[in-house]
Amino acid sequence: MSRLFPERITVAVAPDQLMVGSRTISCDAAFGSEPWHGAIAALRGVEWKDRVRVTAVLSNHFVRYALVPWNTALADPAEEEAYVRHHFTKIHGERAKSWRLRWSAERADAPRLASAIDAALIDAIGAAFPKGGEAKLVSVQPLLMHVFNRTRAAVPASGAWLVVAEAQRACVALHAAGAFRAVQNARGEWRTLLERERHRMADATPALDLLDGSAPPSNDSYWQFSKATT
């Protein structure tokens, strides 16, 4: 492997496992006081034998999402962050003041899909990749956005549902007319959450469903299931 062009690798961080490329490392989800402490302990124990550039992808167990109606009067990134944080604070209370926030870039009048992650988790991931080590952390991404970014080309103009299935959790988002229209991240089975979201939407929604983390069902009477692009 070239020392000048190090390999890029994805590290998927979940409560009960750490996936380092194609390798799976079991974690103790009950370790420590936070649900991510076991995964971080496992991450610190990884031995990097070659130079790599790492993208850490965080399970939706560790992420809160919200669809934020946008205000076109916001003048700069600082105002945007304060606006998004206020939205999360209304939902989750004072603890949202310490979360790290990100939001999608859509057209001016469209709502933004925003994510919030415990700052201590992001700091712990960064500390697992010390300066000068073989592995360099280049990005930390919420799982929903990681899946959407690699699947976006498969979303037609008419829109599609994106479903991310994990153990004991599902995240469902609707992207249509060039923007996100709905998002729910909850414990439970993905099909139940998908059907609930479809019926919750007042307007007609697309039947196309891009599914990650589970095999697409066949011969469904309503949904057109397809595997999310890898």
Q: What is the mean pLDDT of residues 28-54?
A: 94
Give the rounded distance of the alpha carbon of 159 from its chain centre: 19
Distance, CA of 140 to CA of 146 (rounded, Å)? 10
Element at 12 (helix H, strand E): strand 7-13
Model confidence at 72, pLDDT cuts 50, 70, 90, reads confident
* 49 has a pLDDT exceeding 50: yes
Model confidence at 206, pLDDT cuts 50, 70, 90, reads very high
* 62 has a pLDDT exceeding 60: yes
Distance, CA of 188 to CA of 167 (rounded, Å)? 8
Q: What is the mean pLDDT of residues 25-40?
A: 93
* Predicted local confidence at residue 177, as pLDDT: 87
- Evaluate whether 130 touches 110 at the Cβ level (below 8 Å): no
Per residue in 168-194, pLDDT tens?
A: 999 999 999 889 999 999 999 999 999
Per residue in 90-145, pLDDT tens?
A: 999 999 999 999 998 877 788 999 999 999 999 999 999 999 999 999 999 999 99
Distance, CA of 195 to CA of 197 (rounded, Å)? 5
Give 163: exposed, middle or buried? Use CB within 10 Å, 0-12, 13-18, 19+: buried
* 7 has a pLDDT exceeding 80: yes
* Predicted local confidence at residue 17, as pLDDT: 95
Model confidence at 1, pLDDT cuts 50, 70, 90, reads very low
* 69 has a pLDDT exceeding 90: yes
Distance, CA of 94 to CA of 152 (rounded, Å)? 34
Give the rounded distance of the alpha carbon of 225 from its chain centre: 20
* Predicted local confidence at residue 4, as pLDDT: 59
* 211 has a pLDDT exceeding 60: yes
* Predicted local confidence at residue 203, as pLDDT: 80
- Residue 98 carries which side chain, given as an amino acid letter? S
DSSP E strand stretches across the chain: 7-13, 17-20, 23-26, 52-58, 63-68, 99-103, 112-118, 135-142, 160-166, 169-176, 179-187, 208-212, 224-227
